[in-house]
Amino acid sequence: MSVTEPVPDPAAPSESTPSDSTPSDPTPTRSNPMRGRVVSAGETPASMGNIANIITVVRILLAPVFVWLMVLDGGELGLWRWIAGALFIVSITTDSVDGFLARSRNLVTDFGKLVDPIADKILVGAALVTLSVLGELWWWVTIVILVREFGITIFRFLMLRDHVIPAGFLGKLKTVIQAVAVSFALVPLWTVLGDWVLWANWTLMGAALALTVVSGVQYLWDAWRVTRVAKAAR
């Protein structure tokens, strides 16, 4: 008795061909960080190029312009020095403006959180270094302040990525006093109002230096406590 082999159905899948074709994984599309809200308030994602971040970036770009004006004056306390001082005051004031816009209009972004504090330190650091180069501020004062500012910033990003340590009262007060002290040191009011302004300048700079050191120690202490609590909770 002969056995007739079944004729394979051409529509049926072969053994070497899977019955269901596996679709290739689509390439993940990366959202454009520049898309989103720029000025308007809302709950949708904010653009990295929003108005608050633009002001922050402009503050960074103004730092070399400020230094150029200071060098252009060359310690003569002339018109360029007054312009440089005015530019610093306007620039450092924008820190409050971009912060207000970011919070009130929900424009807070990771880029802004990273760049905003760096922008302030670049501007203040440029002013301190320039004053020391011109011989109007002791170098050790500039070095202590810069080591604290950039050291704490690096420490925050590298060591405390899993923990948020909010700025304390002393840290916020330090920022304000630094801005006021540097502004008074830059604008040569003593040439108009008398030498008593110099004493006021040194008093403000001394207060800024003390708050810089004390607030830095406080931040490290708070960071150590938070880290210890986090390790104990694991």
pLDDT at residue number 109: 85
pTM of the model: 0.80
Find the mean pLDDT for residues 24-30: 46
Mean of all residue pLDDT scores within the chain:
83
Q: What is the CATH number of domain 51-227?
A: 1.20.120.1760
Find the mean pLDDT for residues 162-183: 82
More confident residue, 14 or 48: 48
pLDDT at residue number 164: 60
Quick check: 137 and 131 in contact, CB under 8 A?
yes
pLDDT at residue number 205: 96
Buried b (16+ CB within 10 A) or exposed e, 196-218: ebbeebeebbebbbebbeebbee
In the predicted structure, residue 79 carries a pLDDT above the cut 70:
yes
In the predicted structure, residue 46 carries a pLDDT above the cut 90:
no
In three-state secondary structure terms, 51 is helix
pLDDT at residue number 165: 64
pLDDT at residue number 161: 61
Find the mean pLDDT for residues 83-98: 93
pLDDT at residue number 153: 84
Locate 84 and state its tokens: 């440089």
Percentage, residues of the chain above pLDDT 90: 48
In the predicted structure, residue 29 carries a pLDDT above the cut 60:
no
In the predicted structure, residue 19 carries a pLDDT above the cut 70:
no
pLDDT at residue number 14: 47
Find the mean pLDDT for residues 191-210: 94
Which are the contacts of 183, defined by CB distance < 8 A and separation ≥ 6? Answer: 85, 88, 89, 92
In the predicted structure, residue 133 carries a pLDDT above the cut 80:
yes
Would you place residue 3 in the very low, low, confident or very high pLDDT band (cuts 50, 70, 90)? Answer: very low
In the predicted structure, residue 53 carries a pLDDT above the cut 80:
yes
In the predicted structure, residue 158 carries a pLDDT above the cut 90:
no
Which are the contacts of 141, defined by CB distance < 8 A and separation ≥ 6? Answer: 128, 132, 205, 209
Q: Would you say the C-alpha torsion 105, 106, 111, 116 has a positive or negative sign?
A: positive
